[in-house]
Structure 1
């Protein structure tokens, strides 16, 4: 991945001076390049900001989210899916105050001085959690990501954050990218969006799944420094224990709630085979020890059984993907109590687009493994989490809820909904003291965060309701703040 818009000017200047002893590193040339890059950055930033401000999606966000409620809010007459039970709770209301669920009083109990929202005929449920989301990379095409200024990527991500919460996803675990600034803006209620559990840069070995350099950028010369993806905070290349420790600690310093390392190949990258094992045992342990010292954990991108076993044997607590696991690897996950964060990769119309035949072939292989993986995870009672891993796929972001609904094929409607609420909430709790949020997420119970959806219908009977949030999600609340409300208010 390269953001090269400004660098093409550097290339032209390099060509102009190269015949005179390669003056491209002279101070005056570097100054010209810096001025061009600054101008491009400013134009892109201002243009992107104008597009963001005028985006039609902004008009659908309730302005009420920007200010805390002046009074407690009572959600009345709805049936409740609490994120844990397989049946709906009736005869209870939900009282929200100061961002939390204060109580769940009986239907006949009187609550004084509360703003009342009538939820008759609706199902109240926890906000959804996507455990494998790419905040900066989901809604932008690969070609744009490779050429646009980084500031533009952040602006598009801010717009997409608003769309994400309007799909009912009130929390995401970001699995790679510089989401720290956007997270801060959301937490300060400057813009609308989900809670973000950030991983920071994906840590990769040279030639690993997070090494986005092209062949012509090798070998890395001292004067070249970091790649563009590293400068942007997308990835961090580390070789050997000292570098892995340094890069892991850098992400923790930036505020990572968990750290992601690459232990195997992937589909999106061009130079690391899918079956390759990445990072030595010592390097994996180094990342694990650094995060453990900070009270959190390492999650590992890996598909194959040998890579899964290496990760688990050296302390990794969460496997990302893992669709090519065998029974031994799945049993090891169950025995160690590790989490399996899996996505419904089925090589269907909702898949991340791939142009190369070899990439599409890998998608087909992983799709076959996906069916087997869900069966194995269920049979061995592995702690399974769910996420989408939508990547470079603007159209695909709209399928976020649909991707969850697909898992009902293996888990049933109640199992799929539990996995995306209380189950993913349990995974988020692994961050311990590094969690950016001090409260229970993914359940409707007293003292939990007031992340609440009001669904028109019963998703336990028809999980496809969450696939059309614009139509079926009548109320979206996060932290007690209302982002959408098409229900009638009664005062």
Structure 2
């Protein structure tokens, strides 16, 4: 049976010794006769031409744009050019592997190559050009993508989650003892999945360790969870001083802390400690939502599905109040005008990945098509930029405008009128571009 440390080594080796199929290099590209969803408007533009020079949008014009030799022209024929999709809560490694696969004695390098590397490329082919990884062993994967050894979205990495003992990130098996008392880090810690850190000093070290490796933001576990063994959903995790230490260390590097939490008590403490983004929050009440809005804190939440067939019975029981709460929180948060972001949070259920786009449609209960498209492009991009100078990709994303980075999708149809187009990327996304490079083009 492979150890978690061996798994990490295999992923690293795959990313840096194996070359994937490459996209075209950035070039001058002219989209002719397209209608633009710019990331914010409630309607499409009239027919325009969009000039891409290198990795940026150079110009947008209703008049013809002169082009010389060496220019790739894409005839849009009235199709919709829009920003690439953004998911701000993914787990690129743990979302690609089931828990059974992670612990299986049959786990092999080939499985890891297919699941993790292939999962990143398939996510890009679903039109997700940027993601925020919300915790796990991510740095080798991100480096492989950035160096062109693997196709995948831009990644804003958090690194290992930071958790108290018996917190949501305490993934120890029953026989694994406390590192503090027995001196041995758990397998999950050796795999860079999590840091179990207690007390101000350990929290500071854990935050700084992630920043050392290139984290663009920090993920802290501030409350109980549904997929963890030890902590009930209702518990509050980390003292104010511990949480404040994480915030101070992140702010010293010009970035921010996001926290996993559901309950008003946990979230209020996090806000008071200076946390800038709440992940989940499905058990929030109106009073705490109002407080978050007043403090201009982001709520990055999801629309979870009902329980999947192979889900552990304990997890099903713990998820029940969360599933009930999400139907209340989304409309309350919208009414109170919170800064809202959307993500999927697929974890150890790789069968859900192919439904990533479909989950966007679940927001239609409370939002218009225009509001949804704005959230999964422009608004999610704004959240990514909270990383400030720690953002790994300088430039403007989530919009189609002159000077913005060229992360674009050409959609066969009008997604403002028919949002279901977004849920069919294989057929309806005819061009996918990231950083000015074309990764898919069926218009030839």
- Distance in structure 2 (CA, Å) of the matches to 1:107 and 1:355: 59
What TM-score, normalized to structure 1?
0.85
1:410 aligns with one of 340, 363, 366: 366
8 Å CA contact 1:129–1:420 kept in 2: the answer is yes
- Distance in structure 2 (CA, Å) of the matches to 1:153 and 1:243: 35
Task: List aligned pairs for 1:60-139, cutoff 5 A.
Answer: 63=22, 65-69=23-27, 72-113=28-69, 114-139=71-96
- Distance in structure 1 (CA, Å) of the matches to 2:140 and 2:180: 31
Q: What secondary structure does 2:48 align onto?
A: coil
Matched, 1:247 2:206: yes
**What is aligned with 1:205?**
164
8 Å CA contact 1:352–1:392 kept in 2: the answer is no
8 Å CA contact 2:11–2:140 kept in 1: the answer is no
Q: What secondary structure does 1:78 align onto?
A: strand
8 Å CA contact 1:101–1:450 kept in 2: the answer is yes
8 Å CA contact 1:341–1:386 kept in 2: the answer is yes
- Distance in structure 2 (CA, Å) of the matches to 1:204 and 1:418: 33
1:395 aligns with one of 351, 355, 361: 351
Which moved further from structure 2: 234-243 or 97-106?
97-106
8 Å CA contact 1:200–1:234 kept in 2: the answer is yes
Task: List aligned pairs for 1:365-444, cutoff 5 A.
Answer: 365-444=321-400
Shift of 1:453: 0.4
1:423-452 CA distance string (max 9 Å, x none): 000001100000001101111011111011
Q: What secondary structure does 2:142 align onto?
A: helix
- Distance in structure 2 (CA, Å) of the matches to 1:144 and 1:168: 27
- Distance in structure 2 (CA, Å) of the matches to 1:431 and 1:47: 29
Matched, 1:140 2:107: no
Task: List aligned pairs for 1:136-285, cutoff 5 A.
Answer: 136-147=93-104, 155=113, 156-220=115-179, 224-285=183-244
Shift of 1:151: 6.4
Unaligned 5+ runs, structure 2? none
- Distance in structure 1 (CA, Å) of the matches to 2:11 and 2:407: 32
8 Å CA contact 2:298–2:341 kept in 1: the answer is yes
**What is aligned with 1:476?**
432
**What is aligned with 1:11?**
none
Q: How many matched pairs?
A: 439
What TM-score, normalized to structure 2?
0.93
- Distance in structure 2 (CA, Å) of the matches to 1:363 and 1:306: 18
8 Å CA contact 2:177–2:184 kept in 1: the answer is no
Higher helix share: 1
Shift of 1:146: 2.8
Matched, 1:330 2:275: no
8 Å CA contact 2:8–2:137 kept in 1: the answer is no
Matched, 1:345 2:320: no
1:322-343 CA distance string (max 9 Å, x none): 0000011101110000100010
Shift of 1:219: 4.1
